[in-house]
Structure 1
């Protein structure tokens, strides 16, 4: 007989008496137990047993250990033993177990979990027979024992005429409350444990259900029940497991406190004394292989989903099912504390070096409670230092943080962080979380715009860090306004327009050189900040040549040319000459150098550098000559003076000649020449600078316009400079020098071509020499061996006979009349005399053949022409009254004006175009007025003229367009109609029709005396 240490008899008696007195009470108890077992707690038996174990450990103040042992042998007992350490079972505990919603833990410590007295009902989901044994005793709850006790009590009631209890028992068909009647038991807990709950499982299904629940036991249980430090799971169908040490796998953060009483006013009376709140968050440690369960624990699992990547255990109020959080102010208050606790945990994690952006809630919430919690969490995280700054110590709160949207390079962001407060680096995977937290996103261009331009910044480190990122063209564009410190202490925005000097070049220059050039506008980057990034962003990195051509250097030279402060001008000159001396071609030269060692764009304005002449006067470099040089022997020292000896000694001939001091005749290139257009007198215009040293340049461009028309583009033109400075007795030497030096010779001989015109034009040197050289040259003259008629062209002047033919051609010499250009013909025709002057036949023939040959393209358009006019034959005639005869037949038409014959085989249209004259056929129709009498062409003519027609027409009076003629031809070849008034005319017509005008005399002889073939042979053979 087991001792009744917990007063179980009295408890049973009281319950049975209540059921006897009110069978409805039995019904209520049975329904309540059934609701909890089959509804609210149907899958909570393990959790509820663990909760009781945790509460027992908390009450005893000892570490809680829980053993869960499942025995499910089909041939043996199927039991679940839940043994725990902690406070043993007492009478109050037994009374609580035997009641519904009357927990004995109401006045327990704050860390206890159970408060409602209903969790133990979960055992009814899997068992009808339950034993709770402890070191202080044991009790048993049994459906069978309850059924027997009820049957006995119901029978007594029925015997006394009260059948209601028996009827209620029968109506329930065995579904009775097993947990209301405790019975004495003799069981003891396993060794090492203070209390054990032994469930005699109902069947295999119950065993399988328990096994599934045991398989889910893990870290979440210990995290939800912190009083437990160990859970051992033993299953006879699986290896034993020991769950402990959760902090090895989870980062845990806990907060607790006391709630205002007003927040619990709408909660049940049993809960109003539980004013303590507690929140625990657990975040998986990286690599621990664990993950949050995805539901809220309060403190045991609920059905409320949680999308945050952490486990939450909070003292949230639950509805009667204990599966859902009850809405109301209490829940809101606990959620506020939960959000703050989560932010504090993430702050600790961030401080330890963990990236916490993956713990920020993103996406859509999983329910109303989740949404409410996420909103609070985000609000708390926004003001919590979580983000690692790009540079420096400490953490940055999201609301004070800035990230660069279009820059992912870590080193580049870190470098920017050194000069921009609040800048953080957020990898692409964390950008969504950063947006949720309200981190300000800015483009790299915006960040660069805000970079300070003060002193003390390590620009070199910043540029080096940004260099890899600048490989992306989009990044380079964003860095366009990057601050750049200059050597003069200023800081400018943007690398474009700045100059990064090679250290070797900087070392080669005198200390004052860069200072002078900077004062002229050269923006040199501070050498400490000179980095490849700046070049990639548009800064120039010139060598000595490119630096010399820099606009700032040019501006300094132009400014000193007009500077009244000679001392400052001298400083600028020295600085530029120092730069010229750094050119490799100048540095390595032993003597004078050609002007092309400097950049082409610089050659013109470098000549404006102010130097000192031998007489002590300041002079531009291109106005001086090198003593003892060929230039000194050819040029008049009254025009171009020698440079001072001390200047020569200081800088040497290479530097001086590179900037324009003359050591020889030089070639100047004038860019973008246009016919008839003179460059403005503007020092910023390279063409104006280049043309300044060319005498008569404006006349020359007008000459080009006269030849081919104004406004035609010529392009770059090379010209021999300083021709107006040649000494009076040096012309022959100058010509010899020009003829012997390749570049000078090319500048003389190369004809100028205007865009859109085929006419070759004289070079500047050829034009100048033909018009100004002494002794004067004829405008045009005949070269040795020329076919020009004697006296028509003068011979080569004796003084120039030693020059080669190419040079003489450039100076006006021609080998034949066909080589004459438009201006030359005007000169030649003027030599033949005024209009009306008779021209010898041989001269006239040469002129006409030259016009037909067209050796020079373009239109000649002379004012006077050699033409047939009147009985005198060839005479000089006004071009305005002349026409080109299409064929010999038109030579008879003196009514049309002076006639320019076209040699046999030549194209009359081309001749007319060259001379800019009309053709006769354009002025008259050439129609025979009346037909003649048709006669056959005499035999023998066909043998002489293969292309002659077989018949001809005889006329007594032949008129064409009303004008009398002796013969005419309509058409050509064998189909031609030849008209004639006598034999000589017929011969001319047949020869013209057959295209054999040179045989007309032979044809005439054959027609006069067909029996004299020897005479014809003489004519044919000459």
Structure 2
């Protein structure tokens, strides 16, 4: 006989007695069991068995271990064994198992099960159930229950009718029976389920396959779960802390919150919450989408964690019961959630990933999410940006964390660079780094995610030694055009102590310049409106944001400095601060820009006599300029200035040390441009307006010349210093270049330089007329005809080289004379002066005077050339007119085209326009000798012979009439007339020879052939 240590007989008798007394009680018990087995607990057999195991371990105070073994017995029955450690089965436990909603578990023992209904889940898969413990065993059997009911029903017809009506659907868990057997070794209790069929087997197998870490996390009393199934190797679940970050909280609820709960629950005031986050979400095995209370419910969760809480459930055990108790517990869940977030933050995890986003999964989830967001927002979770990435002298791991509600983040890429934010965090309170893709979560937690421009605009515009570090940290942001624009309002410390906003227009000087300038200079530059960045804060970022790198020369050429110099020059009381500032900048600059020299020359300095004087009106004592320039025009500079500033500095602002060169930009051949207020250099050049008139005449009015250079102060050369001045101009390369290089107009014209023009036109050097280049000897020797027309160089330039002499008006031949020179040369000849034929021909061929000359050389008699008044001369149309000196002094030409050119150049009429040129008598026709025609093929066939030939009543030797017919009185005259008529004047001598001796025609024809150009 099987022992009955738990008094199951009495329990059975009591239940059967109740059913006999009231068959409706049987109906009620059967319906409740059926509701739980087939409805509320239909898929929770494994969870409920685990919950009972956890409670047993908790009551015993031992680690809870659970074995879930699915298999078949030797006789083929499918069996699930759930063995656990913990408190063994006792009589009170058996009574609890055999009752519905009358648990033996009481509040305060830390257990999970509270209502005595979970065990009914076994009825979903089994009709035969045994509970075997080290203290004994009981079993529940649908088959035995039916037999016992059959015996009892025989005596109670109403009960018999109820049993018949239920057709076998009876309450199997109400009648406990003694059972033999022991739990597996190492366990204290085992629940053995004889599975109803293969369908139940498959269902249990699926439930076992789904067992995961959630079971251990939800049931704190369990430390190990071993799952053994016939379709795979066994699994052991333990040490969930290695795979999950867990935060738990527990406490006792106020009694008032339980007032509306069922009586069995009112004493259960203890609450517990567990929040678990998988360390590796990809490897985590747990359903995070459902709330656990503590076993899984049908309430969905959108939080990225496993939520386990002792939430009150409705009678279905699948949904949370709403009310004040639930609200209070959701507050505790949110608190535990925040504690978990703090654990993640303390381990440098992605804490923002815990912020819920998207839509809530249900009403309970929505309430919980709202509480979670509030709790997270108030919890210090975010690492301050100043500690991110390592902060000198501090440890990011121990730096106080910032609650999201008091945090500031920079939106976009600007907020992702830890090195940038580390420095910026020292300036912006509560600044944190938001990882990429986490801005929505940060905003949901109350982080003020702000545009970079807003953060920059709120940086304090106050002196601070950390500007350089900040700029270095922000420099990478300037690579993005949008961030570069956002940095436009960045505070910028200036060298004068001010802090302004925006780098655009600021000037960045390097350390060398900063060291060279004193505070007085910086203050003066600030008063002029220059924004010079504090050198300690200078860096590439400011230049990328619009600041300009400026050396001393760049500072010097700022418009404000130029304006100050010009204003001081116009002021009766010059500003010593302007003078000091400009001299300091010049001293610090390696080289003064050429464009600055004209207005620097107006800088007011002090002369030796104490008078304020422009710099370009002074000379350095003891210098070459002091020796060469008249001190009545250019006074010595005050010695105290020489002592305070070195000679190079004073010379750079225009104080004369040597002869200097001025550059005039954008020159126009237009005298009106001389009044341009920007042409300061030109305004200091003597005769500049007249020189522009000269350029206009030479190059064309308004021609653009471009930049032109000039030797300055020529009008201030000291008496007796011209020889040395000219020697220096000729000998020093820059001065020489300025003299000899011509200026060129945009149309291609060429004119002499200003320096050459001034020395010719305004210096008393005897350079008014052209002269022959050289030492004064004729270029081609004593017989050179040019020497008779062009004088030798004046003594003032005789020692200079030929290139310089040419620049000063010297020529090497008549062909180089310009129009004005020709006019002067011709007009300087005295009338009646004999002129050698060679020199006369040079004049007739090359003369191109600018104005009609008053004198010209001309034939005044056959073979005699002399200077005549131009009004008495005319140009011969051809050689025959050379005989007509009775008409005018003759400028001989061979062809009409040459005559027309010479007449235009010398402003002389043609002789054919003065006299008719007609023979008085027709003469006698005669044939041209054959020998002459053989020599020159172009000869006319006949000629007119005269004893005396008169043309216009004047006797001549030969003529060619308007019809081209030759007239002559002699063979020599005939030869000349035939040569002109044929256009072969060069062969007149040969024609005369053949007319005298026709036998020489072959010889002379050969000579003519050799002399003719190649065809």
The TM-score range, normalised by the shorter chain, is 0.7 to 0.9
For normalisation by structure 2, the TM-score amounts to: 0.76
Structure 2 SS opposite 1:614: coil
Q: Which runs of 5 or more residues in structure 2 are unaligned?
A: 388-398, 883-889, 908-926, 945-958
Bigger CA drift: 363-372 or 626-635? 363-372
1:97 aligned partner: 97
Distance 1:188 1:832, change over 3 A: same
The 3 A distance-change label for structure 1 pair 276 and 649 is closer
Q: Post-superposition shift, 1:273?
A: 7.4
Q: Give the C-alpha shift of residue 773 in structure 1.
A: 1.1
For 2:906 and 2:318, how far apart are their aligned partners in 1?
114
Q: Secondary structure at the match of 2:686?
A: coil
- Picking from 310, 329, 332, the partner of 2:305 is 310
Once structures 1 and 2 are overlaid, which stretch shifts more, 387-396 or 198-207? Answer: 198-207
Change (3 A) 1:314 1:633: same
Task: Supply the distance in 2 between the matched residues of 1:989 and 1:365 (Cα, whole angstroms).
Answer: 128
- Alignment of 1:338 with 2:333, yes or no, is yes
Shift of 1:196: 3.6
Equivalent residue number for residue 796 of structure 1 = 793
Asked if 1:377 corresponds to 2:372, the answer is yes
1:403 match: 409
Q: Show the counterpart of 2:426.
A: 418
- Name which of structure 1's ranges 691-700 and 599-608 shifts more when overlaid on structure 2: 599-608
Match status 1:715 vs 2:706: yes
Quick check: 1:991–1:999 contact (8 Å CA) kept in 2? yes
Is the alpha carbon distance of 1:999 and 1:336 closer, same or farther for their aligned partners in structure 2, counting shifts above 3 Å?
farther
Residue matched to 1:737: 728
Unpaired segments of 5 or more residues in structure 1? Answer: 585-596, 853-859, 892-898, 917-935, 955-964, 969-978
Deviation at 1:225, TM superposition (A): 2.0
User: Which range moves more in the overlay, 309-318 or 814-823?
Assistant: 814-823
Change in Cα spacing, 1:681 to 1:494, as seen in structure 2 (3 Å) is: farther
Give the deviation of 1:425 after TM superposition: 1.4
Determine if contact 1:154/1:163 at 8 Å carries over to the other structure. yes
Distance 1:43 1:909 in 2: 130
**Is the 8 Å Cα contact of residues 676 and 703 (structure 1) preserved in structure 2?**
no
Counterpart selection for 2:659 from 658, 665, 670: 665
Is the counterpart of residue 698 in structure 1 residue 706 in structure 2? no
Partner of 1:896: none
Is 1:142 equivalent to 2:141 in the alignment? yes
**Structure 1 residues 658 and 433, CA gap change in structure 2 (3 angstroms):** same
Q: CA RMSD in A?
A: 5.5
Aligned: 1:602 with 2:601: no
C-alpha distance in structure 1 between counterparts of 2:40 and 2:117, whole Å: 10
Q: Contact 1:719–1:747 at 8 Å: present in 2 too?
A: yes
> 1:112-149: per-residue Cα shift (whole Å, max 9, x none)?
43345432222234433212245665421113322433
- Alpha-carbon distance between aligned partners in 1 of 2:720 and 2:262, rounded to the nearest angstrom: 130
What is the alpha-carbon distance in structure 1 between the residues aligned to residue 941 and residue 480 of structure 2?
90
What is the aligned partner in structure 2 of residue 46 from structure 1? 46
- Range 309-318 or range 20-29, more displaced: 20-29
Checking the alignment, whether the CA contact within 8 Å between 2:380 and 2:403 is kept in structure 1 is yes
Distance across 2 between alignment mates of 1:942 and 1:7: 175
Match of 2:910 in 1: none
Count matched residues.
Answer: 935
Distance across 1 between alignment mates of 2:683 and 2:807: 24
Q: Structure 2: how far apart are the matches of 1:902 and 1:148?
A: 164
Q: Distance in 2 between matches of 1:949 and 1:366?
A: 127
Residue 778 in 1 paired to residue 768 in 2?
yes
3-state secondary structure, aligned to 2:383: coil
Q: Which residue of 1 aligns with 2:490?
A: 482
Question: Does the 8 Å CA contact 1:866/1:900 hold for their aligned counterparts?
Answer: no
Contact persistence 1:283–1:292 (CA under 8 A): no
Displacement, 1:79? Answer: 4.3
Q: Distance in 2 between the 1:661 and 1:745 partners?
A: 21
Question: What's 1:760 paired with?
Answer: 750
| 8 Å CA contact retained: 2:766, 2:794 | no
The answer to whether the 8 A contact 2:760-2:808 is kept is yes
| Among 727, 732, 744, the residue aligned to 2:718 | 727
Aligned residues of 2:822 and 2:847 also touching (Cα < 8 A): no
Counterpart-to-counterpart distance in 2, 1:605 and 1:328: 89
Are positions 1:491 and 2:490 aligned together? Answer: no
CA drift at 1:715: 2.2
Q: Which residue of 2 aligns with 1:632?
A: 626
Cα distance change on mapping 1:720 and 1:24 into 2, 3 Å: same
Give the C-alpha shift of residue 611 in structure 1.
3.6
- Structure 1 window deviating more from structure 2 (800-809 vs 644-653): it is 644-653
Q: Describe the superposition over 1:527-565 as per-residue Cα deviations: whole angstroms up to 9, x where unpaired.
A: 443445445555455555555545565455445545555
Q: Deviations over 1:486-537 (max 9, x none)?
A: 2322112234444444444544556655455555455444344344544555
Rounded Cα–Cα distance in structure 2 between residues aligned with 1:149 and 1:163: 12
Alignment partner of 1:800: what SS? Answer: coil
* Per-residue CA distance 1:81-101 (angstroms, 9 max, x = gap): 43445565555644543345x
**Quick check: 1:390–1:414 contact (8 Å CA) kept in 2?**
yes
- The residue matched to 2:598 in structure 1 has which SS? helix
The equivalences for 1:283-302 within 5 A come to: 283-285=277-279, 290=284, 293-296=287-290, 297-302=292-297
Give the distance between the partners of 2:484 and 2:466, measured in 1 at CA: 20
Assess if the C-alpha contact under 8 Å between 1:53 and 1:64 holds in 2.
no
State the distance in 2 between where 1:161 and 1:292 align. Answer: 50
**1:451: how far off?**
0.9
Q: What's the offset of the Cα at 1:833? A: 11
Which position in structure 1 is the counterpart of 2:887?
none
Matches of 1:214 and 1:986 in 2, distance apart? 148
> CA separation in 2, counterparts of 1:949 and 1:107?
158
SS in 1 for 2:386: coil
Q: More displaced, 759-768 or 796-805? A: 796-805
Distance 2:981 2:129 in 1: 144
Q: CA deviation at 1:419?
A: 1.5
Q: What is the DSSP-based 3-state SS (H/G/I as helix, E as strand, rest coil) of the residue aligned with 1:627?
A: coil
